Amino acid sequence: MNETPTIETGLGTLIVTGSSGLIGSAFLDRVGESYTGMGFNRKEPPHPPPKTAHVIACDLSSDESVYTALDEVRRLGHRRIASILHLAAYYSFASESSPLYEQVTVRGTERLLHGLRDFEVEQFIFASSMLAHAPCEPGERIDEDWPLDPKWDYPKSKVTAEQLIVRERGDVRWC
């Protein structure tokens, strides 16, 4: 548990972007009793969030929306954030390129990092993609040191966002 509790619950605060997705919703379900969960979603979740989570509307492609969501976190008394789990990203099965990879995945990450500068953030966890890496032989294990070789816009946007995090994170630990 977090050493410095938040005002509202006495629990550490965890923000999950993309919390209505499969990974984000499952994660909030699992940590509900250990942390105060804050879910950031562009739209209403397809199923009700856990009772322990507070869901906040947040469109990462909009400066105003990101700052409004973070103002809500602040208003609720959460200035110290134990962890940000940044899962939100644009993804499409369409073969053509989309400006949303840049607007949501890259610039959305930048907006979030800039908005968090007024908070005390312990760690920032970014969900990248195995698609960002060069292929391997069956049975080989890929880790963070494996060569990058993104082939299309989704993994390229993940690599660009990760490079941005390295430059813009300040003193925040990230992984």
> CA nearest 38: which of 48, 46, 50?
50
pTM: 0.89
Q: What is the pLDDT of residues 52-72, one digit of tens each?
A: 788 999 999 999 999 999 999
Supply the mean pLDDT for the chain. Answer: 89
pLDDT greater than 70 at residue 11? yes
Domain ranges of the chain: 12-174
Cα separation, 16 vs 39, in Å, equals 5
pLDDT on residue 4: 43
Q: pLDDT at position 2, please?
A: 37
3-class secondary-structure state, position 126: strand
Q: What angle is formed at CA 31 by the lines to CA 9 and CA 109, rounded to 5 degrees?
A: 95
Ramachandran quadrant class, 139 (left: phi over 0; alpha: psi -120 to 50; beta: rest): left
In CATH, which of 2.30.110.10, 3.20.20.70, 3.20.20.80, 3.40.50.720 is domain 12-174? 3.40.50.720
Q: What's the DSSP call for residue 125?
A: E
Mean pLDDT of 18-39: 88
33 compared with 145, residue with greater pLDDT: 145
